[in-house]
């Protein structure tokens, strides 16, 4: 029987954040070692910290917000495709990858997964261009996951996200740790925090090989 794989990044101080904005902090408020009766800390972070989802509202002022997202889109079978050795994901790259018909949740593994998440933020990371978004919409894919902190190339962030979120049902899943994943079908559970009216939310994401 397949085991669940946690593809979420650890949320910890010193972790990379997009454009080095909103560094994560977890200040300790009470400590048993410090003489208190209990351990307690608080969180200071952005809504797009670590593995996270973008709601349409992130780039569409009339778009769905986190608490309005469809749970049926966040949970279910997904398909992983590997696109290695490229700098930007295009329509033609996706067309050549033989993605099965009927895929609603797609995870794209690139060289980002080989390089990983150590060190400093890398603005040269692999991401989608506008033509790739056209492919996503044509295929009816509603959840798109990538292996760095944005679905787009860094310099194409606004136009790619704006185009992607023209479909108010679409969800972007970013910073997925796909190092252990290979091409094929997986069962996925992706649950963001239930943040009311938010543009994005950290998420715990787990997958396991599907019997599809």
What are the structure tokens assigned to 162, written together? 């704006």
Structural contact between residues 160 and 64, judged by C-beta atoms closer than 8 angstroms: no
Top-level CATH class of 5-209?
alpha beta
Q: What's the predicted TM-score (pTM) here? A: 0.97
CB atoms within 10 A of CB 58: 21
pLDDT at 2: 83
DSSP state of 155: G
212 residues of the chain, pLDDT tens digit each: 789 999 999 999 999 999 999 999 999 999 999 999 999 999 999 999 999 999 999 999 999 999 999 999 999 999 999 999 999 999 999 999 999 999 999 999 999 999 999 889 999 999 999 999 999 999 999 999 999 999 999 999 999 999 999 999 999 999 999 999 999 999 999 999 999 999 999 999 999 999 88
| Spans of all domains in the chain | 5-209
Residue 89: count of CB within 10 angstroms of its CB: 26
Beta bridge mates, 192:
203
Nearest to 128 by CA among 98, 106, 160, 97: 160
- Which sequence positions are flagged as catalytic? 58
Residue 62: its pLDDT value, please? 97
Q: Are 17 and 44 in contact (CB under 8 A)?
A: no
Residues 31 and 83: their CA atoms lie apart, in Å, by 46
Rounded CA-CA distance 148/126 in Å is 8
């Amino acid at each position: 029987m397949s085991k669940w794989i946690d593809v979420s990044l650890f949320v910890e101080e010193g972790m990379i954040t997009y454009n080095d904005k909103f560094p994560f902090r977890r200040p300790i408020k009470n400590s048993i070692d410090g003489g208190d009766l209990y351990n307690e800390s608080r969180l200071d972070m952005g809504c797009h910290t670590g593995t996270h989802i973008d709601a349409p509202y992130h780039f569409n002022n009339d778009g769905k917000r986190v608490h309005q997202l469809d749970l049926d889109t966040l949970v279910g079978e997904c398909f992983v495709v590997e696109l290695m050795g490229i700098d930007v994901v295009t329509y033609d790259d996706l067309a050549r990858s033989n993605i099965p018909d009927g895929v609603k949740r797609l995870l794209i593994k690139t060289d980002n997964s080989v390089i990983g998440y150590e060190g400093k933020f890398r603005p040269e990371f692999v991401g989608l261009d506008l033509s790739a978004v056209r492919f996503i919409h044509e295929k009816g894919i509603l959840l798109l996951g990538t292996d760095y902190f944005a679905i787009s190339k860094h310099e194409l962030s606004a136009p790619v996200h704006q185009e992607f979120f023209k479909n108010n049902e679409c969800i972007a899943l970013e910073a997925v740790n796909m190092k252990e994943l290979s091409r094929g079908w997986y069962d996925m559970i992706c649950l963001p925090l239930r943040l009311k009216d938010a543009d994005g939310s950290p998420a715990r994401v787990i997958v396991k090989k599907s019997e599809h």
